[in-house]
A and B are shown apart, each in its own frame.
Chain A
Amino acid sequence: NAGVTQTPKFRVLKTGQSMTLLCAQDMNHEYMYWYRQDPGMGLRLIHYSVGEGTTAKGEVPDGYNVSRLKKQNFLLGLESAAPSQTSVYFCASRSADSGNTIYFGEGSWLTVV
C-alpha cells in the first residue's frame, strides 16, 4: 500500500525551465491537493481537485498549472520556473467521506537557480 507517491523527490532547475511534478495515490480518493511549504509560512495551497477532470485554484496558484486526467494522478506543472518557486512541494489526498483524514506524500524538493 503505497499511499501517496510523489516524483521526483529532488530537482534543480534553471530559471525559465519547465517541469512537471507527478502525484499518484492508490486509495481511490476523490480530492487531491498540491501545497508548497516554505520556512515560517506553513502549508500553502497551490491548486486542488475534487474529482477526475476538475481543478481549482488555491491560495498561491500563480506560475503553476495542474491537471487531473485520471482519478489517481494529479500533476503540477511549472511552465517557466522562477527562483521564488524554490520550495518543498507536498501532494495530498483524502476521501469525500466525513472524517477526512488527509494523506500526504513525502515531498518534492525543488531548487530554481
Chain B
Amino acid sequence: SQKIEQNSEALNIQEGKTATLTCNYTNYSPAYLQWYRQDPGRGPVFLLLIRENEKEKRKERLKVTFDTTLKQSLFHITASQPADSATYLCAQLRGSYIPTFGRGTSLIVHP
C-alpha cells in the first residue's frame, strides 16, 4: 500500500533562512500531493496542492516541487519567520476516496 514518509525529526532554522521539508511516497505516483499546516491544538489547514504533471507551484513565500523520478515532493518556505513554526503535513490522493497523510514534520524558526 502507498505510504507517505516525512522526516520525524524537527527542523530548526534561523529566521530569514529558507526551510525545506521533504515528503516521499513509496509506490505509485499520486495524482495530487497536498501540503497542510497544523498548529498545536488546531486542525490541519490546506496550503498548497501540486498535480502529478506539474513540477513546481508557488504561493507567496511557499513553493512546492514534485519529482516523480525521485518519488518526492519538497516544500520550501523562503524568508522564514517565527510565525511559520508549526507542523507541516504532506498528503496524497490518487483514484481513491481516502487521502493518505504523512506523520508531519515540525518546523521551528528561531528569531
Contacts and interface: CB of A to CB of B under 8 A. Distances in A.
A4 to B, nearest CB: 8
Interface stretch (A13-21, A36-44, A69-77): A36-44
Interface of A: 4, 31, 33, 40-43, 45, 48, 50, 56, 58, 90, 92, 94, 98-107
A43 B101 contact: yes
Q: How large is the interface on B (under 10, 10 to 19, 20 to 34, 35 or more residues)?
A: 20 to 34
A48 B34 contact: no
B91 interface: yes
Given A42-B103, A43-B89, A102 B46 contact: yes
Contacts of B8: 40
Nearest to B93: A100
Contacts of B104: 42
